[in-house]
Structure 1
């Protein structure tokens, strides 16, 4: 199924002739219609920066629970530490509706932008303060901020790329993302040896689509690793290239393109008895838009003609997390 996941070299795109860009755009458009993901090379994110964030993340997750508890997330819009079994519906909603479903087998540390609007309620739901564990691990903040500076740069290029592939003005998405909401996750998937046992149907991350516009993922390959879905192939493991990032579309982009492009359905398998000591660390950058952006589905022939209704960006994300607020979203 490698053909279902195109490979785009961002440097080559920027240097390509109009004819070369047309070939790249056609291939990318096909992949986003069929699956909703692609591999990104030529992005300029140093491997040392990725390795540095993984190392600091591993140090954080290895801390005793009591040392991590002061940073625990209690509401789905907060930054901080997401415990492996938090309960209470915190986090991205899974597809399974069974409330007795076993919880996902991962821990995460969430951070977001430092932007502030000046409105207390807007900031609470859109730009919650980061809670850095500086007293116990001062290097984590620097590693996250170094990495997310690259992610914001790549996100800008992706927004321009998506607009050009759709035949829109290059700044169509970027001018709606001047104060975008985003979340950076460092997610640790522990080994089978450390969790002891896996319940029936339990995974490291259950099937879901992401809620924002798109996600940029730095992954590690594993037996109990990432799987993606499309109608022709069902579940399959995407190709792995050590220096490539995975870019997948979320619900907001599917909404915006009126289902011309699809939000990627994906999951992370449970740790496997065939690799009992395998643990993985993913760096996951969830990008949205300015929080008050009205996502108006694009009309055909650019849009897919599904007839979806407009939604407000951040309000749509929060409502899918079960949060309802009258916050005034700003640009």
Structure 2
């Protein structure tokens, strides 16, 4: 039996009749237990803002390398440009346990954007809210990103309320500890096969992995070499696509928070295909976490899954997986979330 990936109309869920909501909640709960994703529509993000940020991203990635390099990331958790073929992959822990080895780095470039919150402690700010590197050559990128991410923060808080309600918790359970959340907005460009020339053995646009935060809001483009998700029932499969939707996929913090009841989505982006040699894709990926010092206690039954996970400090758990030592700010390797 094929898994069902539900579509939720965000504008309707609060006002849905109790019977209808119970059915929707049960369907969502099943999908998050089995796969870790659903589609969100009627989310209120103006299409023109999505289009503007995607267009600005394309203009940035088309700049000469020496210009883009002025804004390159400098640490494992940082803002700025991540180069294509960065000498050993992007450093994300792979869901299959394999590293992003130097022989076959992932085929994408990304530009990372962070929130502007500040703690007053420069060392903590560097780890929690790294300063953005806005390209002087493309001032419209900042304007487009600011407008788009304001909506992403709003939608993320609504998703927090939705997820809490599915679990039978107060609506503010997750949102109340995400008032100054750490997040990263990625603009990620997947180049065409014609532009990269050839593929290394096993090379993908983005290798199998799970995201590290609470959940991710993804605006993607449909392509031959596009997104695939994984679960036990179906193996690798192409999730449903709607151009007006955001994909919500759960990350490792939410899997831990629900003590294994829900799962972090295992996913990948396929290699560019010889059947579409000119295909380029650009994704807008909003990784949302929680307030950095939040102490995450796995939920007990009946809300949690009983996996016996250990509590963590939210931001520290993400930094540790990236090879960062939170107490000192030192890094073991460069990477991304």
Task: Give the TM-score of the pair, scaled to structure 2.
Answer: 0.94
Q: Which residue of 2 aligns with 1:124?
A: 126
Q: Which residue of 2 aligns with 1:142?
A: 143
C-alpha change, 1:80 and 1:2, in structure 2 (3 Å) is: farther
Following superposition, the deviation at residue 163 of structure 1 comes to 0.6
CA contact (8 A) 2:34 2:262 kept: yes
- Matching of residue 50 in structure 1 with residue 50 in structure 2: yes
User: 1:92: how far off?
Assistant: 2.4
Correspondence for 1:239: 240
Q: What pairs with 1:279-294 in structure 2 (closer than 5 Å)?
A: 279-294=280-295
- TM-aligned CA distance change 1:2 to 1:85, over 3 Å: same
* 1:54-203 matches, cutoff 5 A: 54-87=54-87, 90-94=90-94, 95-97=97-99, 99-133=101-135, 135-203=136-204
Of 95-104 and 299-308, the range deviating more from structure 2? 95-104
The DSSP-based 3-state class of the residue aligned with 2:14 is: helix
Q: Quick one: distance in 2 between partners of 1:4 and 1:122? A: 41
SS of corresponding position for 1:73: coil
Q: Could you report, residue by residue, the CA deviation over 1:53-89 in whole angstroms, capped at 9, with x for unpaired residues?
A: 1100000000000111110012121100000122366
Q: Secondary structure at the match of 1:285?
A: strand
Q: Deviations for 1:247-281, whole angstroms, at most 9, x for unmatched residues? A: 00000000000010000000000000000000000
After superposition, the C-alpha distances for 1:151-199 in whole angstroms (9 at most, x for unaligned) are: 0010010000011110111111011101100000000000000000011
TM-score by length of 1: 0.96
**Equivalent residue number for residue 24 of structure 1:** 24
Residue pair 1:212, 1:288 contacting (<8 A) in 2 also? yes
Q: Are 1:256 and 2:257 an aligned pair?
A: yes
Query: In structure 2, how many angstroms separate the alpha carbons of the residues matched to 1:237 and 1:210?
Result: 18
Q: Distance in 1 between matches of 2:314 and 2:89?
A: 21
Q: Indicate the RMSD between aligned Cα atoms, in angstroms.
A: 1.4
Q: Is the 8 A contact 1:254 1:261 kept in 2?
A: yes
Mean CA deviation greater in 175-184 or 93-102: 93-102
Alignment CA distance shift 1:29-1:327 (3 Å): farther
In structure 1, stretches of 5+ residues that fail to align are none
Q: Cα distance, 1:2 vs. partner?
A: 6.8
> In 1, distance between residues paired with 2:87 and 2:150?
32
- Listed one character per residue, the Cα deviations across residues 36-62 of structure 1 (whole Å, up to 9, x for unaligned) are 000001101111111111100000000
| SS class of match (2:52) | helix
